[in-house]
Structure 1
Amino acid sequence: MQEHTYPKLHNAAWPGVVGKGPDSEPPIGLDTLLDFTAAVEVDGVKFDGIDLFLFDPHIDIDSTESEIKKLADSIAGRNLEVGSLVAPVWPDIGGGSAMGSKEDRDNFVKQVEKSCKIGKTLRDHGIRPHGVVRIDSATDPASWAEDPVENTKRIAQTWRRACDVAADYGEQLAAEGEICWGGMQSWKTMVNTLEAVDRPNIGFQADMAHTLLYLLGYNKPDDRILPEDFEWDHRDELEKGLKKMTAALRPWTIDFHVAQNDGSVFGSGTHDKTGRHCLPDDPNGRLDIAKDAGHWLRDEDGELTKAFKHICWDGCMFPNEVMKKQQTWNDILAAMISVREQHGWSE
């Protein structure tokens, strides 16, 4: 029996969709991922819940209330709860660039509102005790770099509108730091954009695989933290870099993804290259998962922040063959348990 009951341990549904499709491998259905998640057990510990992607073929963003309640019952029937939700804010699936035309920005906000409505339905149905709605800028770094000042202002304006809508549903928005999103592609641009929004219900969603690339300055070389001649066996230097980055972003962090990265980028399907997700025991993994999670879960004095009630495993763009092995999910849950053992608490 584990000593700690928090943070709750969640799996993610979006690896079954992100990076999949006609120009890659076929998506993996939500029911399949739910079954794998519910079946995992390591030393008597199971996943507590799952975070969801509000996009077909998993969940139609325009689902009716009764359809969402049916989904909730299906998840609850597997003894799981729901946490954070990914809003489909991208132009090719109904959203729009947060710094684009008026129509683009209106569509972005509409997708956020639909996501928040689903989130509220899940909360009201008693299956979603905590979690956020995840967003990004839905634009690429090169387009943003054409006019960083004005484009950051436009993204902030759109996010501000989205925050106001989310507040009506009692939701928080979290911007996930991925190097493939304009105005979010470095730790400095991420902080600048968040500061420009000026709303209490927005924060940062830290993913250990993506944020590792912040240290190397991918897509924003002048913001790199580690030196250009950095070698991965210099663990002390890596920890100093992690401390600097998390000191800037931790105060904003309201949602957290446990992950592994080998220091490289990867993209599949239509997804741009971003921080590569590796399996927790990948021999090329650069992170000490449990230890390095502490940079996000504890403050500069080593005290737990308890800023979020659950943590989620994120492993996008794994091959379907890997994702359909039960051992994959056993290893992932074991990594999640190790994080909670070092940085958990009870309530």
Structure 2
Amino acid sequence: MHTFPKLHNATWPGIVGKGPDSEPILSLDTMLELTAGAEVNGITFDGVDLGLFEQHVNLDADDQEIQALADKISGFGLEVGSLVAPIWGGPALGSASEQAFFLEQVRKSCRFGQKLRQIGIRPGGVIRIDSASSPEQWATDPQGNTQKIADTFRRACDIAAEYGETLAAEGEVCWGGMHSWKTMLETLEAVDRPNLGFQADMSHTLLYLLGTNRPEDRILPPDFDWSDRDTLQEALQTLTATLRPWTVDFHVAQNDGTVYGTGSHDKTGRHCLPTDPAGKLDIVHDAGYWLRDEKGQLTKAFRHICWDGCMFPNEVMQRQQTWNDILAVMIQVREAHGWSEA
């Protein structure tokens, strides 16, 4: 049995797409209990990736509060990996004051991450960001707005470097400047900093193939038949050859080829259960396009992988079997594309 990459679950699906105009938020304790309760043939999740959202975490916590959070998580037998910076409310391509808000949230998140590393509960992982703006905002001035995003991201990288952190820009069709594989690449190249990489989520990146929110960048043909696995695999190879070299964080996920949004979250890749018959991906096989290079060799570019199940109904999320099924496919991904260390 391989021991790497470590298997993590995300905590933010208890928040994203929930709230007053949707279903109730699930507490951090609930997400930790469900994660720690999952078990398949004696194997459990190794850790969680943590959304630094006020409904779960006090971003301004002092050292004592952060220690208490670490003790809580370790009490469930879990470690911490990547963190999500709550940068929404300050678009990276916005005004000076909006950019200042964005950067301050990055600073607070990096400080939080550094403290967790110093405590010893966070052996690795990145700080996830996005542009906090819509494709429509970006489209008012594509070239100029890409440069604004890149400038804000460069300053964010400077901040992250002060804390020994790496940033990962999330590829998702609802974020301006990263809403297609080509605009994502252009943004990464414009930033050109060693501590900024790409976060790939199998659900979100599937929509890159369809040109969702940017039809001119579609890779699959307009009349694509999902039963044509050969064409799908060629498209995945094209996509991953471009973005894999930038990838520093990875989410295992499933998608049925549609967009979806609940609560205040804009429509994006629909996260499906691994057992969903409508899922378009062969999860275990297709994860290999991100975890292996073009020669089929393991990249070992990150030491943990995470499941992101945003916007599942609460009734589904609160069933322990849901997380057992998710853990089972995560184990299969590790056995197919993992490694062990002495």
| TM-score scaled by length of structure 1 | 0.98
For residue 340 of structure 1, the aligned residue among 316, 334, 338 is: 334
1:66, distance to aligned residue in structure 2 (A)? 1.1
- Residue 256 in structure 1 maps to residue 256 in structure 2: no
1:56, distance to aligned residue in structure 2 (A)? 1.7
In structure 2, the partner of 1:83 is 81
In structure 2, the partner of 1:189 is 183
SS at match of 1:129: coil
In structure 2, the partner of 1:229 is 223
Deviations 1:182-217 (A, max 9, x none): 000000000000000021100000000000000000
In structure 1, the partner of 2:285 is 291
Matches within 5 A, 1:1-347: 3-91=1-89, 96-347=90-341
SS at match of 1:215: helix
Mapped to 2, the partners of 1:267 and 1:64 lie a distance apart of 34
Mapped to 2, the partners of 1:282 and 1:224 lie a distance apart of 25
Mapped to 1, the partners of 2:33 and 2:42 lie a distance apart of 17
One-letter amino acid of the counterpart of residue 335, structure 1 = V
Deviations 1:159-185 (A, max 9, x none): 000000000000000011000000000
Mapped to 1, the partners of 2:60 and 2:20 lie a distance apart of 23
Mapped to 2, the partners of 1:66 and 1:119 lie a distance apart of 14
Mapped to 2, the partners of 1:30 and 1:191 lie a distance apart of 34
Structure 2 unpaired stretches of 5+? none
Deviations 1:95-125 (A, max 9, x none): x000000000011000000000000000000
Mapped to 2, the partners of 1:41 and 1:328 lie a distance apart of 11
Report how many aligned residue pairs link the two structures. Answer: 341
1:43, distance to aligned residue in structure 2 (A)? 0.8
SS at match of 1:170: coil
Deviations 1:242-290 (A, max 9, x none): 0000000000000000000000000000000000000001010000000
SS at match of 1:242: helix
1:158, distance to aligned residue in structure 2 (A)? 0.2
Deviations 1:304-326 (A, max 9, x none): 00000000000100000000000
Deviations 1:25-76 (A, max 9, x none): 0100000110111111101110000000101210121111211110001111
Mapped to 2, the partners of 1:38 and 1:47 lie a distance apart of 7
SS at match of 1:162: helix
Mapped to 2, the partners of 1:265 and 1:10 lie a distance apart of 24
Mapped to 1, the partners of 2:312 and 2:16 lie a distance apart of 10
Calculate percent identity across the aligned residue pairs. Answer: 69
Mapped to 1, the partners of 2:263 and 2:220 lie a distance apart of 30
Mapped to 2, the partners of 1:266 and 1:61 lie a distance apart of 28
Q: Structure 1 stretches (4+) deviating beyond 4 angstroms?
A: none
Mapped to 2, the partners of 1:190 and 1:327 lie a distance apart of 36
Mapped to 2, the partners of 1:117 and 1:271 lie a distance apart of 26
Mapped to 2, the partners of 1:319 and 1:185 lie a distance apart of 25
| TM-score scaled by length of structure 2 | 0.99
RMSD between superposed Cα atoms in Å: 0.5
1:138, distance to aligned residue in structure 2 (A)? 0.3
